């Protein structure tokens, strides 16, 4: 695990206020019911304009945001929230229809914290909401913090990686990619986000080059390379 303060109990997370932005009544009722059943406080609106007004008047702890909304769509709502310093830190979880890969990528690059594809399991919905809230509740690890996750040990200062106590030699770019993924386990990074993180350290990195580096990284990590998961059409994450 990352060396960081302990996670808060689920009972503390459960009192968080969730704003649901969804124009399909049956989905809205399903989401509201399951959130309330798990102890969350829930408010709901059915349009992007109403969401922006609600967030400004009473900022929620998390926004569950449908992308396909009448008027101001979900991507525009996300963009406006993340570009405003007063609302930028509010976590956003996107609700998406299958096949909206380009919108998912755009949303993540705008700053959304996660996405849930429709149709979804209520249990998955609650798990994702709790995970995002825990990420924001816990103090974020510093850039130079030592990370221990699974059987990986990553020391940024020494540029050192151990797998089951065995040293692994990585290139500078491979190390930067692994460190980026490991700092936020479970978080999906798009190829563009990875490029932005490592750009200019070895040589100009392209989206295609990211895939090549991931292949090399997995090979060097051996069985532990399986912790690096491909999220089809989006990017990569390190398994929690």
Pair 21, 48: CB distance under 8 Å: yes
| pLDDT for res 73 | 93
**Tens of pLDDT, residues 2-22:** 333 333 444 455 578 999 999
Q: What is the pTM of this model?
A: 0.62
Q: Where are the domains of the chain?
A: 10-137, 147-238
pLDDT given at position 36: 94
Sheet containing 166-167: give its strands across. Answer: 147-149, 152-155, 160-163, 166-167
Query: CATH fold of 147-238, please?
Result: Arc Repressor Mutant, subunit A (1.10.10)
Residue closest to 164 by CA, chosen among 227, 214, 212: 227
Q: Do domains 10-137 and 147-238 have the same CATH topology?
A: no
Average pLDDT, rounded, for the chain: 84
- Contact between 152 and 182 under an 8 Å Cβ cutoff? The reply is yes
Q: Stretch 197-218: mean pLDDT, rounded?
A: 72
Most confidently predicted of 30-44, 83-97, 175-189 = 30-44
What's phi and psi for 167, nearest 5 deg? -70, 145
Mean pLDDT of 164-176: 88
> What per-residue confidence (pLDDT) applies to 159?
84
Residue 193 φ/ψ, nearest 5 degrees: -65, -40
Superfamily of domain 10-137: Response regulator (3.40.50.2300)
For residue 1, the model assigns a pLDDT of: 39
């Amino acid at each position: 695990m990352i060396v960081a303060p302990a996670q808060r109990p689920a009972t503390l997370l459960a009192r968080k206020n969730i704003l649901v932005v969804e124009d399909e009544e049956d989905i809205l009722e399903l989401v509201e019911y399951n959130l309330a059943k798990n102890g969350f406080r829930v408010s709901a609106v059915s349009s992007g304009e109403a969401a922006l007004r609600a967030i400004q008047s009473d900022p929620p702890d998390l926004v569950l945001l449908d992308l396909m909304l009448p008027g101001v769509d979900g991507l525009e709502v996300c963009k406006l929230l993340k570009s405003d310093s007063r609302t930028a830190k509010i976590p956003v979880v996107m609700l998406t229809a299958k096949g909206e890969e380009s919108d998912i990528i755009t949303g993540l690059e705008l700053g959304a914290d996660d996405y849930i594809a429709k149709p979804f399991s209520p249990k998955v919905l609650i798990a994702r909401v709790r995970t995002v809230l825990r990420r924001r509740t816990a103090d974020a690890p510093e850039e130079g913090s030592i990370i221990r996750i699974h059987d990986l040990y990553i020391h940024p200062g020494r540029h050192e990686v151990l797998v089951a106590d065995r040293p692994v030699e990585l290139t500078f770019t491979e190390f930067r990619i692994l460190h980026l993924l490991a700092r936020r386990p479970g978080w999906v990074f798009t190829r563009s986000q990875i490029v932005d993180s490592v750009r200019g350290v070895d040589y100009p990195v392209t989206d295609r080059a990211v895939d090549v580096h991931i292949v090399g990284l997995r090979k060097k990590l051996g069985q532990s390379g399986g912790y690096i998961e491909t999220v089809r059409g989006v990017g990569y994450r390190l398994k929690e």
